[in-house]
Structure 1
Amino acid sequence: MTVSYWADLASIKAWKAHAEHQEAQRLGHQQWYQHFKTRIAKVERDYAI
């Protein structure tokens, strides 16, 4: 599992469109992953003790 945090949806879209990321994604699909799932969620609260 991988977790990424982004400032906004525009940042996510820019990362998705980046050429190096697209190549890494293509290789991942080709060589390692049969299935994958992407979930984009908004963090409403984050705290630690």
Structure 2
Amino acid sequence: MSRSRRAFRLPADADPARVSADLKDGVLTLLVGRAAPEVATARKVPIGKG
């Protein structure tokens, strides 16, 4: 069996903890989970009198 090596750049929103690979019948399948988008939250900012 021969060995090979290949490197891939992951997208900026990829979650490194959710990357997996499977090799079956000579086909390599990569699954890359993406991080949930940050949700903007509204907040009240008090305005002082003065």
How does the TM-score come out when normalised to structure 2?
0.28
Higher helix share: 1
Higher strand share: 2
> Which structure has the bigger radius of gyration?
2
Greater relative contact order structure (CA < 8 Å, 6+ sep): 2
